[in-house]
Structure 1
Amino acid sequence: MSVLKCPVCGNEYDINRSNYLCDKCGNILEVIHENDFVKENFKGVWRYKSIIHPGIDKRLIVTRGEGNTFVYGHENISSYSGIKNIKLKHEGENPTGSFKDRGMTVAVSEAMRLGYKKTLCASTGNTSASAASYSAMAGIENFVLIPDGKIAVNKLAQAYVYGSKIIKVPGNFDDAMGKLMNIISKNNNFYVLNSINPWRVEGQKTIAFEILEENEPDFIALPAGNLGNTTAIGKAIKEFHDLGLIKKIPRIVSVQAEGASPFYNLVNNHEDSLNPVNPETIASAIRIGNPVNWKKALKYIKFTNGIVEKVTDDEILNAKRIIDRSGIGCETASAASLAGVKKLSDAGIIDRNDEVFCILTGNVLKDIHIENINFMDINILS
């Protein structure tokens, strides 16, 4: 059995509901299952069907084989971070090049179950690419609101080629989300695919499931923008613990860019509520100043005794350079996880003997910044 439940006031709703805001207090709902973990005859995300969407008919599942991403270790990463046992789980190896595919396979499958013909999202890029692909596979028309001039062209191209209807909105991602919320308040024909949709979190949980089935990490670090992944990783840890599948609770390290760090301010300044900021960072995927999932994310930071850190753009780019030059490569925002871990290692908060997993959220080709290429003379080969 599955229900939608408000994490703040506790009100419960039927899962056939597609309004994911609590009627009583307006907070974003969570999906709660009362199931044991039974391994399914799938690979990747849907292997965990019994604890991400047990009730859906398998014929309605829209999948591209997402999940089961590779884990990298490299001496350059260990040397840079000061941590011997550090691994990088690369979500950029999902079908459209980011972790979003894990959530989108569940959310679009749910749109199919509910009978929707149109999907809608606001996006800085990765969400739009994933939503466009999975909606196209399902035969559903997809609409994308993008912040004008605030999206990487590589990501915009993906949404375009998959056939999305793309609408430019003045301002940043938070402005686009405001437009989206206004649209759905007046028109219930659209199924929303942003991370206010709790089924997205259900798919993204599987990042942590894959780690925890085979490892006992001390820390799991990830970039933090809209805080859907911080919520998902925390929910996965709690569920595996509640099911008795793990005894040790790893600490989440949620890393924001310094220019877009309202969650950092909330946690580290002991504020009562999140105060939105005007975001500015080179890491476009986490250039978000008013993250909608902050209440749920805060709950799981507390549950895991987690840490919220912030890093500068230079620290992100330095970490990215190490990842790229190790032959692994990642999207710019992805490197925030390694940058944050290095900062905590330098401060003595993470020990060199701790086991650490860093989540790389996107592919190296997602957000390209290349300047001053140093071309070699042909004579170097002589």
Structure 2
Amino acid sequence: MRLKCPICGREYDGPVQRCECNEPVEFELLRGEPYIGKTVWERFYDFWPVEPALEFSLGEGDTPLVKSKIGGELGVRLYLKNETVNPTWSFKDRGTFLAMSYALKAGYKTVGTVSTGNMAASVSAYASRFGLNAKILVSESASNEKLKAVSVYGGDVIRVKGDYGRLYFESLKLGESLGIYFVNSDNPFRVEGYKGIAFEIAEEVTPDYVLIPTSSGGLFRGVAKGFIELKESGLIEELPTLVAVQAEGCSPICRAFKEGKEKIERFERPKTIAKAIANPYPPSGNAVLKLLREFDWLCVAVSDNEIREAQRKLAREGLFVQPASATGIAALRKLVENGRTEEGAKVVSILTGSGLRTLSQAKGGTIRECPLESLENCLR
């Protein structure tokens, strides 16, 4: 389990989560090629840093890659990686499962996370599945309605008053002293779990572009790492162009990328409907920025109006996603209009989470009322 900092290069043998330089660490690939198996955990067994506890799996991963009609409008071949069908409705389940597999093997009795949304629900659900206690730390502004889908699994949900931005780092520090394994946004096992998205995409298509909604940066790092390891293993010939997508109302990575800076800066007063990716100071921001520059990849920020339109278009295809999930489609339209994609390019957009958790933001269609006696006329 050798870990390495992607920023300074320092290596670690123990299960640390962040480097001494305060950047996230990640596992180095030390194994061979995949073998044939039923699940993504089995097919790519040699690519995981810990043995997946398959007896506790809830069926995460192996999500569908759906051909989209939107691509025809834009002159590209568009595929949608539908992560909303994971057990708790988001991509987070992949990373949570692998992190829980490690926590169980390492002898932890309690796990935790800092989140008010998809990750909180995922950790709470999988902790119950693995027979572990869960400490879910949320901001004081988190609504009771939103937290119902978290507390229902039985985890200990704690509202924390104070600077929510500091909570990530405080949780790691206290976790070490209290014996709680915190599975936060860019936990190294979580990032490893997200590699499976890249593996599954590569099994079906050879994409030219992959659009990734980006918040803390853990998902982007995981998908990037997956494609890089496939190339290093000789399983694919070329890397696709990865596109980090953020909302204009909270885009610290895209802003730093556009301004040519080496490090991100805190995004003051964030405001966007894509709350799932509205992290003003993402803990993996510098690592993502480094990847974007190293591989000449792209970062695109989109407006709330563009996000709403993309969400509406996806719903017309039968896919109801949260606003953050629709940012990839909004970004694709911008890339096409600016001539950044080729005619007929193969594009994959990752749909990160279901719209069922953001019903208050959804704009529904027309609903009519009709007396039974007039039903024939209404149907006409």
What TM-score does the superposition give when structure 2 sets the normalisation length?
A: 0.91
The CA deviation at 1:145 is 1.1
The CA deviation at 1:299 is 3.0
1:78 counterpart letter in structure 2: G
Residue in structure 2 matching 1:94, options 75, 86, 95: 86
Residue in structure 2 matching 1:34, options 30, 52, 56: 30
The 5-angstrom pairing of residues 66-105 of structure 1 reads: 66-75=60-69, 77-80=70-73, 82-105=74-97
The CA deviation at 1:125 is 0.5
- C-alpha distance in 2 between matches for 1:151 and 1:340: 30
* Partner-residue secondary structure (3-state), 1:309: strand
Match of 1:216 in 2: 206
Q: Does structure 2 conserve the Cα–Cα contact (< 8 Å) formed by 1:234 and 1:301?
A: no
Q: 1:22 to 1:344 in 2, by over 3 A?
A: same
Q: 1:351 to 1:173 in 2, by over 3 A?
A: farther
Determine whether 1:226 maps to 2:216: yes
Match of 2:373 in 1: none
The CA deviation at 1:121 is 0.7
The 5-angstrom pairing of residues 234-273 of structure 1 reads: 234-273=224-263
Match of 1:49 in 2: 45
* Partner-residue secondary structure (3-state), 2:257: helix
Percent identity between the two aligned chains: 32
2:237 counterpart letter in structure 1: K
Q: Does structure 2 conserve the Cα–Cα contact (< 8 Å) formed by 1:98 and 1:126?
A: yes
Q: Does structure 2 conserve the Cα–Cα contact (< 8 Å) formed by 1:125 and 1:152?
A: no
The 5-angstrom pairing of residues 224-373 of structure 1 reads: 224-278=214-268, 279-368=270-359, 369-370=361-362
What are the Cα deviations for residues 319-378 of structure 1, in whole angstroms up to 9, with x where unaligned?
000001111221221001111111111111112311100000011212112457632132
Report the number of matched residues: 372
Structure 2, gaps ≥5 residues long: 371-376
| RMSD of equivalent CA atoms | 2.1
- C-alpha distance in 2 between matches for 1:337 and 1:153: 27
Deviates more, 1:199-208 or 1:288-297: 288-297
The CA deviation at 1:180 is 2.2
The CA deviation at 1:51 is 0.4
Q: 1:62 to 1:174 in 2, by over 3 A?
A: farther
Q: Does structure 2 conserve the Cα–Cα contact (< 8 Å) formed by 1:150 and 1:284?
A: no
What are the Cα deviations for residues 26-75 of structure 1, in whole angstroms up to 9, with x where unaligned?
3211111211122253413443221022x53x657632121111111232
The 5-angstrom pairing of residues 6-21 of structure 1 reads: 6-14=5-13, 17-21=14-18
Q: Does structure 2 conserve the Cα–Cα contact (< 8 Å) formed by 1:152 and 1:366?
A: no
The CA deviation at 1:164 is 1.1
What are the Cα deviations for residues 133-152 of structure 1, in whole angstroms up to 9, with x where unaligned?
11111111001111233569
The CA deviation at 1:12 is 2.0
The CA deviation at 1:181 is 4.1
* Partner-residue secondary structure (3-state), 1:89: strand
* Partner-residue secondary structure (3-state), 1:206: helix
Q: 1:336 to 1:59 in 2, by over 3 A?
A: closer
Q: 1:7 to 1:143 in 2, by over 3 A?
A: same
